[in-house]
Structure 1
Amino acid sequence: MGALVDRVVSHAAIGSLNDLLLFVEGTPLESDLEEQVREHFNRADAIGLHARKVLENADPYFVQTALLDRVVQYSNGTRAEFNNFLSNRNANHLVNAQANVDGLLATIIQIPVTTEVHIEALREAAANYHSSISEWTRNLEQRMAALIQEIGGQQGRLAESATEISNQKQRLDTAIAAFQQQFSDAQSTRQTEHTAAEQARATEALKEEEARRTTFEESEKKKERKLFGRCAQGVDPAQRSD
């Protein structure tokens, strides 16, 4: 193997692509991240597979080492940005990762390959991407079905709670109405008793006043009769009688 061929065959480009593919295919994603990140990983995986296929079938004499250097740069950059996102969940790292993926794609297009090999690489990359998307879609449908079922259960419990609240409100309204009626009846009874007591006191006072007036009148009448009797006997009315 000559030096010109060896500088391409032994280059770190394919190794960096393998590291990227192992990362995106082997990194488990948390459930709350999968929907947001899966498409980014799938695109990086598809383009990484295509790039590796192109390099494996490229003629070393037609490959510039500067392009291979950029393959390493973009592969490592993509993996680093994904790692950073998983560490701090800053969405800007996903944007940066896709920028690196775009750079990798633009670079690999510049490496000449035979038409048949190129088409096969594109076909394989598209098939892998379609498979990943199908799996992601199935997972999403399963999560949606579980979510719909959970929402249905929550709605059922909400309806039960609403019924219980309505029953409690009805019982409370009934208790309040009964309490108000009891208070009204007690107030009416107290008012009736108070009125009757006041009437009884007024009647008793009137009787006592009538008795005093009668007694006074009888006393005055006795005095008048006595006075008239003394006058009839020729006694001076001013003279005190014992």
Structure 2
Amino acid sequence: MKRFLLILFVFGLSYSASAQLFRKERLSNMENFDKRRYTWGYFLGFNSLDFKFRYDQDRNDVSNTDVQVESQVGFNVGLIGDLRINNYINLRLEPGMVFAQRNLRFPGFAEERDELREVKSTYIHIPLLVKFSTKRMNNFKPFIIGGVSTSINLSSNESNPQDNSAGQFRMTSSTYYYEMGIGVDLYLYYFKFTPSIRGVFAMSDELVPDVDPNSPWTGNIASMATRGIFINFTFQ
């Protein structure tokens, strides 16, 4: 699914770029849009999130050293506040909601109720990003973007006293990330449309371990961190 989303995004980006750069008629839309100090907008998009596990190699009393992660396609929606620094640099705040699901399969169990944990997450996600753009070419302007973000997981179960022994998988309620990606601004007649793709990588451990230090679910996991892809479509 990640490969499909990436291929779809690259195909659309290539098509738009070709249309903008090589068409004979080159009318400039929204010529003064980038001269504004502040601009606003909203975005809609998709995500595919995964977990990166790091295991405690010194623990030999538990066997979960190969947790399988099944990523599901999720949904993003939010707002954009953009501050123009100069012709090529913008500072962006993109608060939004992220709805995601990952299914975890733990080895060593005979029954699916013990093996499978459906991790459904609803995040309030707040990235602070720096956007570096090229010079505008006709109605087309590529850019790279990067920065840091934080999120609040409304479905974390962090304070739940029950753990995996009772079927409850627990995560921390807050996480910090770094993000980086690419995109292109397309200046249409009435608005600016921006498709972009971004990698998101957690910098903190999100796992809340089970009460039992020898838990067959979490006993051998040293850390668990989100990583994933966001594909967003922005309207300004």
TM-score (norm 1): 0.20
Higher helix fraction: Structure 1 or Structure 2?
Answer: 1
Bigger Rg, which one: 1
Higher strand fraction: Structure 1 or Structure 2?
Answer: 2
Which structure has more RCO (C-alpha within 8 Å, separation ≥ 6)? 2
